[in-house]
Amino acid sequence: MSTAGHFIRCLAAVAWEAGKPLVMEEVEVAPPQKHEVRIKVHFTSLCHTDVCFWEAKGQTPLFPRIFGHEAGGVVESVGEGVTDLQSGDHVLTIFTGECGNCRHCHSEESNMCDLLRINTERGGMIHDGESRFSSNGKSIHHFLGTSTFSEFTVVHSGQVAKINPEAPLDKVCIVSCGLSTGLGATLNVAKPKRGQSVAIFGLGAVGLAAAEGARISGAGRIIGVDLNPNRFEEGAKKFGVTDFVNPREHDKPVQQVIIEMTDGGVDRSVECTGSVQVMIQAFECVHEGWGVAVLVGVPRQDDAFRTHPMNFLNERTLKGSFFGNYKPKTDIPGVVEKYMNKELDLDKFITHTVPFSKINEAFDYMSKGECIRCIIDMGA
């Protein structure tokens, strides 16, 4: 393309301060360097992780910054050493990566790349530590190596998944993070068998994706656990959730409630809250002998998990899951194909759409708990 090798001026939504509305700014986006790709972002969606780091409550503040990581776009140009992508490719940006060279990437069991594993504190690119964004001569920090709240962005090629060009970017952009995190936790890690029971703790976007995974697996019973009763009637039923449990409505531990509901415990459980107490509940509610609990939510740094060793000795299994155990470049195109083949329903996750100029409305929806996923149309 004619812009290859040159700086591009475009609009970006810049966070100058924690918790303050994003500001639409003209920024300069540098050409991609070694192993990098410059992408024209067509659609991006807002994830709760963006909101958390924008608020900077409990995280190291790093501003000014361009947030965003769930996005679909088209490759504009590639840097030195990039051989698997070219101008015109339709792609998704991923918050973690797949270098293809480390032990994790060579393992069929792991997706935790040594080079490109998620790093929330890095504000520049891996190649040289420098930012590819600037405004009026001032450097602007990257976020998760993606920074998709910009009309153009630069991403390491290992964090870019090439997808079917027929896939609608305004739908499949949500595959980049939360959808795959929950879906894969069920399909790839919990692996329920047809007819088995599954409990999902936390019915936000990730939990609903885990429920969708249980539905695809043919689970006979899907129990949703959440403190907000509206989440069952207003959303979870669409994802195959058959039963709802609100811990506040019972005078006994919720794990005991579920054990009594299921004649000894569920076959599988997936925890999507980040609360250690909920993690314990999710583990202790699975059936002895074969029950498997999968932890997805991210706890606080000083949290500790405590349960009686007999829960393990009675052959309950506890597992963790990172990004649904999907390798970004290898596996994510296949998730897109599930949507194209009508095996996976993405449309029901998308509750709102806003033009790029009104991106702050998306933050309002998310902060108020009014949306599952809000799509931001970069061209509107």
Report d(CA 124, CA 375) in Å as an integer. Answer: 26
Report d(CA 80, CA 238) in Å as an integer. Answer: 46
Catalytic residue flag (residue 148): no
Catalytic residue flag (residue 373): yes
Catalytic option among 35, 65, 146, 177: 177
Q: In what order do the strands lie in the sheet with 23-29?
A: 8-14, 23-29, 133-135, 138-140
Catalytic option among 70, 98, 271, 284: 70
Catalytic option among 105, 272, 285, 371: 105
> For residue 329, which of 92, 68, 89 has the smallest C-alpha distance?
92
Structure tokens at 218: 């043919």
Catalytic residue flag (residue 49): yes
Catalytic option among 44, 65, 96, 113: 113
Helices (H), the chain: 48-55, 103-106, 169-172, 178-184, 205-217, 230-234, 254-261, 276-284, 310-313, 328-340, 359-367
Catalytic residue flag (residue 102): yes
Catalytic residue flag (residue 105): yes
Report d(CA 57, CA 375) in Å as an integer. Answer: 24
Catalytic residue flag (residue 300): no
Catalytic option among 3, 102, 122, 130: 102
Catalytic option among 35, 96, 99, 142: 99
Catalytic residue flag (residue 272): no
Catalytic option among 25, 35, 36, 47: 47
Catalytic option among 36, 42, 44, 49: 49
Catalytic residue flag (residue 117): yes
Catalytic residue flag (residue 371): no
Helix (H, G, I), strand (E, B) or coil at 307: coil
Burial tier of 121 (Cβ tally within 10 Å: 0-12, 13-18, 19+): exposed
Catalytic option among 10, 28, 55, 117: 117
Catalytic residue flag (residue 113): yes
Tell me how far CA of residue 163 lies from CA of 153, 175, 246, in angstroms.
Answer: 18, 11, 39
Catalytic sites, residue numbers: 47-49, 69-70, 99, 102, 105, 113, 117, 177, 373
